[in-house]
């Protein structure tokens, strides 16, 4: 039996947290490990190509994030891996980056993997940024929210994604306006909240994503 055939098909999915210098990357890494994934924070292209799934984290300005991604060729890498069917999860700013572009600070183009734009949250007099626990109501079932009821999840943001196709929206929250708090168009997934800071329900969502990565991974075939 070859070495490849001896590899157990039940190994933990390897998920790469894309390191482009922004976001709480280590917290996401530790949360993924907590739910049983093998996680690594990296900008190395070989590691990103070898991963079963990618997480794009992010806290900060949209244009700066995209500049950092492009400088390291990570924008093309994320797009290529998604095109191969590899699951990609964007968290907070990372979810916004999946869309066509943002109006923040004069505007910038995004990854363009999901149709739609990002604009300032119409908070209707509420203080920005929106910080804290907010009820997320699921609009439809998805692999991302399997086994998770409507619940409060932790948000920190001033901008929101507005998907062009309402069918991409999985969950909504409200802070002045109703906004998309979770989206899915497999293999692309995004959450405006921080699952790594959202207690048991957030961990369940990360575990669901890890399961998606494991299911999408080509299975080793034993050969005599």
Phi/psi of residue 181, each to 5°? -105, -15
Q: Which of 130, 155, 157, 194 is catalytic?
A: 194
Residue 161: strand pairing partners: 118
DSSP 8-state class, residue 157: E
Is residue 213 annotated as a catalytic residue, yes or no? no
Residue 209 neighbours by CB under 8 Å, 6+ apart? 15, 53, 55, 87, 89, 143, 144, 189
DSSP 38-82: EEEEE--HHHHHH-SEEEE---S-HHHHHHHHHHTTHHHHHHHHH
C-alpha 215: how far from chain center: 17
157 catalytically annotated: no
Residue 120 among the catalytic residues: no
Output Rg (C-alpha) for the chain, integer angstroms.
Answer: 17
The phi, psi pair for 218, rounded to 5°, reads -60, 130
Among residues 92, 104, 151, 213, which one is catalytic?
Answer: 92
Question: What is the set of active-site residues?
Answer: 92, 194, 196
């Amino acid at each position: 039996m070859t070495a490849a055939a001896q590899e157990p098909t039940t190994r933990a999915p390897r998920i790469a947290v894309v390191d482009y210098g922004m976001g709480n990357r280590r917290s996401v890494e530790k949360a993924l490990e907590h739910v049983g994934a093998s996680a690594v924070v990296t900008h190395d292209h070989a590691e990103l190509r070898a991963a079963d799934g990618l997480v794009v984290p992010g806290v900060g300005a949209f244009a700066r994030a995209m500049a950092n991604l492009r400088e390291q060729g990570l924008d093309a890498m994320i797009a290529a891996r998604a095109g191969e069917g590899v699951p990609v999860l964007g968290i907070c700013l990372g979810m916004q980056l999946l869309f066509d572009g943002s109006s923040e600070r004069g505007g910038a183009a995004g990854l363009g993997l999901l149709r739609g734009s990002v604009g300032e949250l119409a908070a209707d007099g509420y203080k920005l940024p929106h910080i804290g626990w907010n009820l997320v109501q699921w609009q439809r079932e998805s692999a991302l929210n399997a086994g998770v009821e409507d619940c409060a999840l932790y948000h920190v943001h001033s901008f929101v994604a507005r998907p062009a196709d309402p069918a991409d929206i999985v969950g909504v929250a409200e802070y002045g306006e109703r906004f998309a708090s979770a989206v899915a168009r497999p293999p692309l997934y995004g959450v405006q909240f921080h699952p790594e800071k959202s207690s048991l329900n957030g961990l369940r969502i990360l575990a669901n994503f890890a399961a998606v990565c494991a299911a999408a991974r080509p299975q080793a075939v034993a050969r005599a």
